[in-house]
Structure 1
């Protein structure tokens, strides 16, 4: 007699084969580069040493100190190049890829399998052995806004609030009233944080590590808590005068490179002064050729870098001084007059300065006379030249840095100030000479500068009825200020 179960078994067998084939096809057809979720991180702390110098260090002693206290601890030496002479018995995390090794070797997440990570400067010792545990407990019990625990390494830390404005390319430090919640610390420190937080940062091991991390965490609103009752013993390194000199040079270069990477051109208040990381008289300006009156930084949601504004102010005041000494009649023109009316300064997103001059006064100024036939570099390195774009003059900050002041020659005709050629800008129009008789004084670029009288009326004529009250980028057809 035929078994009634046979057709059922055959059907089930076929179904299982189909499912198996589909599963096998699905596994092989997954997009390349797609990985399974990372395994759960294990308890414990990975120690990373990034702040050291290959030419003089104490890595072997640091490694022995930490592993003597915590034999199971994973300690990584993160370095762009291998330490020389080689250090035996340490794990090296190479940060720069090498073509013969797999890419995962150089990815930080490959080397961190613990929930916490501690960044430790060279020369630090783990004594007593529970210092990292105390920091871990403090992080566990900290309020939700605190993502970092910091403890001094051989010194007492200073606490700061840190405000980072990418729009203004600026990081500003101010004293913190309490160590329980701040944004940054100054001084050699051990920093403890959750591994997932460190790996979220796009530049987790840029040097100087503390500065780079705190700028990135400030942008995310992460707080720092300083443990004032925890201090790690530390021997300051390098220990030789020559080593310290080399370290200082290397740190300056690394800090400048990191600030440029992070988009910071000015650091205020960390040591009571300003540190500049942008362009100078010896370097090109921070942006390239401007297309459509809209510099590239505006598309990134940024305004003019502070180093560029500083150079524009310096150039403008130099040009004004030369014109005044030569008795050349000048006045603030165009967007610079608008900036004086609205800000008492250059418009924060502007990229040049505009001055009007009387055409008949050009021969009074030796620099302008010299510029008519080509270009002239004056005693302070400013370059005077006739602009290639039209019938006007341009004064550049230097031969390397082309931040500039444009000088627009006008002449009166039937009581109207006019020019023989125009650029096509909407505000580039004739206006009554009565606006210049007499001139008035307005604050601009940190000085008192000549400007047209009834300047508000003139600005309405050039830019529109509410140009002062309603700021707008130079070419609103290409890019407008958000909300306007």
Structure 2
């Protein structure tokens, strides 16, 4: 009887152990399956977006594909380490005009709150990939690109962005720019002013916008990739580049070359003249 009871408990514990390890193995492979399945779906979405993207020169498609897959890698990195970011500048123009990458663009632009760069600095010390790396401007805490220096020996060949997510294999990068919760050009804070955020404009001057134009962030599809977008993308594009940039691209394809758009240049010139005229009247 004692022998049978002992045999029962041995079988019981063996079964439990086998079940436990089987569950671990299943969970491991299921996680990999889910991740691989996610990658497959993301790849399909990117390739579908690329088919709808115009090309002008032979190198366009390989460049466009590399930029998008570099952005995809960034989104995985940002999700893993809980980095708050959103698309900006030329990339935001692309999202507003065509829900994705501008066909002539050479990189991707993102914004983060300037103080969050300290998190990126910690992450830049990690050896997380043989292909990708995160470079942080050593003087990121200094406000204003003219006050910063290049650090070529460290691979820092940029001063205005606070950081870069770099694809070393294909020489493509994602620029990560600072957003400030105050206006660096103001010497004194204005009282009773609604919350504002400030970033560079296209000429590296400070440009402010209401905080509610950016937050809360919204998830959006950028050429088939899930990224974070500001709350009011059209208003931000108009604020930085002018209302004309919401609908008209600054670049067009002519005879196999990307050139500045005459239509865009004329429309922007008329807009600037109108602003000058109105200012003079005031």
Please state which band the TM-score falls in when normalised by the shorter chain: 0.5 to 0.7
1:482: Cα distance to partner? Answer: 5.9
1:388 to 157, 172, 180: 157
Distance 1:336 1:393, change over 3 A: same
The residue aligned with 2:189 is none
Higher relative contact order (CA 8 A, sep 6+): 2
The residue aligned with 2:117 is 362
- How do 1:180-199 and structure 2 match up within 5 A? none
1:470 to 227, 248, 258: 248
1:359: Cα distance to partner? Answer: 2.3
The residue aligned with 1:416 is 196
When normalised by structure 1's length, the TM-score is: 0.33
From the two aligned structures, give the one with the greater strand fraction.
1
Aligned Cα RMSD in Å? 3.1
In 1, distance between residues paired with 2:205 and 2:107?
A: 15
| Residues 338 and 459 in structure 1, CA contact (< 8 A), matched pair in contact too | yes
2:228 to 437, 450, 473: 450
The residue aligned with 2:79 is 324
- How do 1:139-218 and structure 2 match up within 5 A? none
In 1, distance between residues paired with 2:74 and 2:234?
A: 24
Distance 1:380 1:344, change over 3 A: farther
Distance 1:407 1:353, change over 3 A: same
1:338: Cα distance to partner? Answer: 1.0
Distance 1:464 1:424, change over 3 A: closer
1:309: Cα distance to partner? Answer: 1.0
Unaligned runs of 5+ in 1: 1-272, 274-297
The residue aligned with 1:350 is 105
Structure showing greater Rg: 1
Residue deviations 1:80-111, cap 9 Å, x none?
xxxxxxxxxxxxxxxxxxxxxxxxxxxxxxxx
In 2, distance between residues paired with 1:433 and 1:379?
A: 35
Runs of 4+ more than 6 Å apart = none
When normalised by structure 2's length, the TM-score is: 0.54
In 2, distance between residues paired with 1:406 and 1:424?
A: 14
The residue aligned with 2:210 is 432
From the two aligned structures, give the one with the greater helix fraction.
2
2:131 aligned counterpart, secondary structure: coil
The residue aligned with 1:402 is 171
Unaligned runs of 5+ in 2: 1-46, 48-54, 137-155, 183-192, 253-257, 265-282
Distance 1:479 1:425, change over 3 A: farther
Distance 1:447 1:427, change over 3 A: farther
1:405 aligned counterpart, secondary structure: strand
1:334 to 82, 89, 99: 89
Residue deviations 1:390-409, cap 9 Å, x none?
141111112x4221100112
| Residues 91 and 108 in structure 2, CA contact (< 8 A), matched pair in contact too | yes
1:308 aligned counterpart, secondary structure: helix
1:442: Cα distance to partner? Answer: 2.1
Residue deviations 1:325-364, cap 9 Å, x none?
2222111110101111111211000000001012232344
1:426: Cα distance to partner? Answer: 6.3
Distance 1:380 1:444, change over 3 A: farther
In 2, distance between residues paired with 1:408 and 1:330?
A: 10
The residue aligned with 1:379 is 129
The residue aligned with 1:18 is none
In 1, distance between residues paired with 2:58 and 2:134?
A: 27
